[in-house]
Structure 1
Amino acid sequence: MKLLTFSTLFPNAQRPNHGIFVETRLRYLLASRQVQSRVVAPVPWFPFKHERFGVYGTLASVPQSEVRHGIDVTHPRYPVIPKVGMSAAPLLLAKAMKPVIGRVIDEGYDFDAIDAHYFYPDGVAAVMLGRYFNKPVVITARGTDINLVPQYALPRRMIRWAAEHAAGMITVCNALKDEMVGLGIAPDRITPLRNGVDLQLFQPGDRQALRAERGMEGFTLMSVGHLEPRKGHELVIAAMRQLPDARLFIAGSGPDRKKLEDLAQELKVADRVRFLGPLPQSELRNWYGGADALVLASSREGWANVLLESMACGTPVVASNVWGTPEVVAAPEAGVLMAERTPRGVADAVRQLQAAYPSHEATRRYAERFSWDDTTQGQLTLFRNILGQGRA
């Protein structure tokens, strides 16, 4: 099968962790040797290449094309209009990509189907493109595209339209499927295929050595993710007042870093909170491997990959009880779900974990249930059924 993978959520040279879950799933699919794919990963157009212009200045420096893990990736530009951008985004994205995808076909890569990730605007634009090029489209819903974006009337209508015309749909957890059914989408057209974890990359190391190398002392917590309100880092920082013997390391970048640093100072816990900035996965695994727990206090998550990454390194988690997270944290050896998403809820859950702390070996064994094999097989079956190629 020849696929065209289409998503604005895909890593690039400037933002190597952006949408890395899309790339990882594709890498495992390609490893089956039953699929080929080329990636079209559009980025917003911006005229100035300089970090002083923030994320748009960074995006302007993204190369037009690159090869990642042997996969050909192009990064064509598309217009984003401030303020009205959300409503116009699918149409603008589709219009900008028509000549790009036309060239892909003209160059000899006449793909069988479009593999689109993130329902809005990417999935909607992909269905527009699929109808134009007469190609079936499969859309993967990943989180905020379903649990937040449909709160807006026009995007909700466009998501329903795309769902009606897509050849198939995937969700990364059952909770997202339930939400899509609530939007009026037929359940038999939705296939839940949860994300896996790279068990070779994320695995336990020499815990004492990792802690010593990173200055980890006492009961050490990690909080990993983009520094913005949805991830709830501020709740973990506030919980440190109730966890006087704990240390917190925060990995990630984003617009709220200064606000979070100021909060740590205001609450007089700054001496026990350290900001690490963005970390590549090859280094992040070492921080997981040295920590005593990962804390994820998000308000919304489809399927939080950081939870399985931490568990695969033998480190249990404390997580907010939202969306697909209970499907990930489903046994004591995995960790603890918060009773409430508040600083007290974080602190209580950390203390609960401490009181019945699982062995690192048991946590690793739990993570080993989540290989990518089932997800890869599920994709092969779905695409083959859509293309009339029989069972995988």
Structure 2
Amino acid sequence: MSGMTDDQLSEEARREPLIPIGQPARKRRELWRRKLLWIGVWLVFLSSPVHDLVSGDHTTGGTVAGWLGLTVFVVLYLSLLFRDMGATPYHPRLIGSLIGSMAVLATALSLTLGSAWLGLYCYVSVACGMVLPLRVAFWTIPATGATLLLVGLRTDEEEALNLLLLVLLIGFAMTGVSQLVRTTIELRQARATVAQLAANEERLRLARDLHDLLGHSLSLITLKSELAGRMLPEHPDKAAQQVADIEQVSRQALVDVREAVTGYRRPRLAPELAGARVALTAAGITAAIPAEPDLDGVPEESEAALAWALREAITNVVRHSAADRCTVDLVRRQTLDGPVLELSVDDDGTGGSGKGPGNGLNGLTERLDKAGGTLEAGRDKRGFRLTARVPAGSTPDVGSRS
């Protein structure tokens, strides 16, 4: 892509997240990888309880009860967070019951088995921050810290004080992460809605144009047909005149429809560039688009083909790519077959489903073939790239420029 070096492209690739936040997982393996990243990182706090159980400092009954309580606690924690990250989270009342059960288990195990179990309150705080609504998490997280201090007075006050700041920090940090994920999901849904509304508006515009063109003509044809039918037995000459008028009106209507459809099917490149900028901005995608295209000597058919290519590419970017940035370049090139005008559309998204070209790209290929052009589309190391080339006609004499 012009204007960017290989180092810049590599830097963009490094900044691209390995696991996009808020983006739906395309594969089951990716879904499990996300869950293990967000949930498994906190399992480090289990090291103290496990070490306490294997050290042999408790009776056999105490050890068995400890393992059983720890297993139930971890199952509650994992089921709560795994279900919350899935498509159908638990009912709010059940969520409250599960978090309450975790807090009760953490308290009981800490009071009976010692201060090594105080780290379980970190899991209670994480669950409050990730699962509960923001206004509820703002008082349940401090309540978890207060419970930790009260239990620490009976077990190890110094250890409880050391864990207090950590419990509060990770709890409130998880509220931020949870809000970020929810906001990102809402933004992606809004992008899809904007794309759908844009498509609906385009269909409505065409429907309005055809209605305005044909409404009057078809009404007049219907009226004159009724008049001709009533006049035909007794006044054939007047009926013939009505039939002639019907022919004239229908021919004019056909001309109007052809002009309307031709105008619709042959868009201009400058308005399409402006529309692409508006569509990308509305979808929350950073757009880099040239302001005024140089179309001197470019045949109308070539311009229309590039305009269609741009429209299809931008539609795909908005609806399917989940991109954050899109760049459009329009340059003239001199080839062995003559001058060409090249349009390239690059985005840093996922590139769609990856199941091969759809109807849109197949239709573009046919349009460009008719205009003597070519189409290239596919994924690259940054995202997805579409390149369309059409004959550009004669180019200015570069040797005459000073």
TM-score by length of 2: 0.21
The structure having more radius of gyration, on CA atoms, is 2
More helix, by proportion:
2
More strand, by proportion:
1
